[in-house]
Structure 1
Amino acid sequence: MAGSSDRLPIIDDDASLATRAAWLYFAAGLTQSEVAERLNIQSTKAHRLIARASREGMIRVFVEGPVAECVALENTLAQRLGLAFCRVAPDLGEGDLPLKALALEGASFLRQILERGDDKVIGVGHGRTLAAVIEQLPRTPAREVQFVSLLGGLTRKFAANPFDVIHRLSERTGAEAYLLPVPVFANSVADRAVLMKQYGIADVFALARQASLLFVGIGQISRDGFLVSSGMIKPEEVVELKRVGACADLLGHFFHEDGRVLDIDLSARATSMSADDLRKHRIVAIAGGLPKLTALRAVLRSGMLHGLITDEATAQALASDKPEATSGTRRTKGRK
Structure 2
Amino acid sequence: MSQVTAPQDGAAVLDAEEIEQISRAAWYYYNDGLTQNQIADMLGVSRIKVSRLLEKGRQSGLIELRINSPHQGSMALQEELIAAFGLADARVVPAAPVGTAGAARIGRAAASLLMQHLVPNDLLAIGWGDATSTTLRYMAPVFPQSNISLVSLTGGVSAYIGTTGLYGPQGFAHLIPTPLRVSSPELAEMLRLEPYVRHVLDMALTAKLAMIGVGSVARSATLVRYGYCTATEIELFTRRGAVGDILGYFYDRDGQILDLEVHRHVVAVTPQDMRQIPSVVAAAAGPEKVEAILGLLRGRLANILVTDEPTARDLLRRI
Shared fold per TM-score greater than 0.5: yes
Once superposed, which parts of structure 1, at least 4 consecutive aligned residues long, lie more than 6 Å away?
none
Q: Does 2:306 correspond to 1:309?
A: yes
Matched ranges for 1:115-130 at <5 A: 116-117=119-120, 120-130=122-132
C-alpha separation between the residues in 1 aligned to 2:80 and 2:133?
A: 28
Q: Deviations over 1:132-174 (max 9, x none)?
A: 2223336214453220111111xxxxxxx764237626279x6
Q: Does 2:82 correspond to 1:78?
A: yes
Q: Deviations over 1:80-107 (max 9, x none)?
A: 1110111101222258972122122112
Contact 1:124–1:166 under 8 Å retained in 2 = no
In structure 1, the residue matched to 2:267 is: 271
Tell me the secondary structure at the aligned position of residue 68 of structure 2.
coil
| Shift of residue 190, structure 1, vs aligned partner | 2.0
Compared with structure 1, are the counterparts of its residues 135 and 286 closer, same or farther at alpha carbon in structure 2 (3 Å cutoff)? same
C-alpha separation between the residues in 2 aligned to 1:169 and 1:283?
A: 23
In structure 1, the residue matched to 2:256 is: 260
C-alpha separation between the residues in 1 aligned to 2:82 and 2:160?
A: 31
C-alpha separation between the residues in 2 aligned to 1:306 and 1:64?
A: 30
Contact 2:131–2:212 under 8 Å retained in 1 = no
Which of 235, 241, 244 aligns to 1:245? It is 241
Tell me the secondary structure at the aligned position of residue 224 of structure 2.
helix
Q: Does 2:142 correspond to 1:146?
A: no
Contact 1:217–1:285 under 8 Å retained in 2 = yes
Q: Deviations over 1:217-266 (max 9, x none)?
A: 00001222111001112233223212311110101111112322112211
In structure 1, the residue matched to 2:191 is: 195
| Shift of residue 279, structure 1, vs aligned partner | 2.1
C-alpha separation between the residues in 1 aligned to 2:100 and 2:221?
A: 14
In structure 1, the residue matched to 2:9 is: none
| Shift of residue 195, structure 1, vs aligned partner | 0.7
C-alpha separation between the residues in 2 aligned to 1:138 and 1:147?
A: 11
Tell me the secondary structure at the aligned position of residue 166 of structure 2.
helix
State the TM-score, normalized to the length of structure 2: 0.72
Q: Deviations over 1:252-303 (max 9, x none)?
A: 1111123221122112321111232122222110010122111111111111
Q: Deviations over 1:51-96 (max 9, x none)?
A: xxxxxxxxx8232212121111100110111101111012222589
Which of 48, 59, 67 aligns to 2:71? It is 67
C-alpha separation between the residues in 2 aligned to 1:298 and 1:287?
A: 13
C-alpha separation between the residues in 1 aligned to 2:95 and 2:79?
A: 17
Compared with structure 1, are the counterparts of its residues 62 and 88 closer, same or farther at alpha carbon in structure 2 (3 Å cutoff)? same
Q: Does 2:82 correspond to 1:99?
A: no
Tell me the secondary structure at the aligned position of residue 291 of structure 1.
helix
Contact 2:137–2:163 under 8 Å retained in 1 = no
Aligned sequence identity (%): 27
Compared with structure 1, are the counterparts of its residues 296 and 97 closer, same or farther at alpha carbon in structure 2 (3 Å cutoff)? farther
C-alpha separation between the residues in 2 aligned to 1:223 and 1:78?
A: 31
State the TM-score, normalized to the length of structure 1: 0.69
Which segment drifts farther, 298-307 or 198-207? 198-207
In structure 2, the residue matched to 1:288 is: 285
Instruction: Structure 1: give runs of 5+ residues left out of the alignment.
Output: 1-59, 154-160, 326-336
Contact 2:297–2:303 under 8 Å retained in 1 = no
C-alpha separation between the residues in 2 aligned to 1:209 and 1:107?
A: 21
In structure 2, the residue matched to 1:88 is: 92
C-alpha separation between the residues in 1 aligned to 2:98 and 2:166?
A: 29
Instruction: Structure 2: give runs of 5+ residues left out of the alignment.
Output: 1-63
Report the number of matched residues.
253
C-alpha separation between the residues in 2 aligned to 1:185 and 1:241?
A: 16
Compared with structure 1, are the counterparts of its residues 225 and 72 closer, same or farther at alpha carbon in structure 2 (3 Å cutoff)? same
